Amino acid sequence: CLWCASSGRCVEYPVRRVLPPADLCELHSARWGVCWVNFEALIIAMSVVGGTILIMLGVCCCCCCFKRKSKKQVLEGPDKDDERAAREREKRRVRQEERRAEMKSRHDEIRRKYGTV
């Protein structure tokens, strides 16, 4: 049933069309099903609810993909940044050991020179 508030009559809803035609009843005065459900308000409310559901689904999909990506990285092991940082730490450690050995040899040389060995 389509109630038209401007003409004050109830007509059968034109099922072939989504929105009622303007010549049958203006959209702002059309009521759907029962007299108190405004057709415009119903369309707006359904659009808001549908949009909210779509946004929530999108956020859920993004969260799931992010979690899956995080788990995949944990399972695969360290990524390239971690590997690069480990290589740099190893290089610094090797250089530090070389410097220690060089300083020890210098100190030993100085001790031999002055006979403190």
User: Which pLDDT belongs to residue 34?
Assistant: 65
Does any domain span residue 22? yes
Residue 114 backbone dihedrals phi, psi, to 5 degrees = -100, 5
User: Which pLDDT belongs to residue 78?
Assistant: 59
Based on the structure, what is the number of domains in the chain? 1
Counting residues of the chain whose pLDDT is more than 90, the rounded percentage is: 33
pLDDT one-digit tens code per residue, 46-87: 999 999 999 999 999 988 888 777 666 655 555 677 888 889
Does any domain span residue 111? no
pTM value is 0.48
Alpha helix segments (H runs only) across 19-38: none
**Structural domain harbouring 17:** 1-35
- Average pLDDT over the chain, rounded to an integer: 83
Averaged pLDDT, 2-28:
78
Does any domain span residue 31? yes
How far apart CA 44 and CA 58 sit, in angstroms, is 21
Pairing verdict, β 2-4 and 30-32? antiparallel
- Is residue 33 within 8 A of residue 41, CB to CB? The reply is no
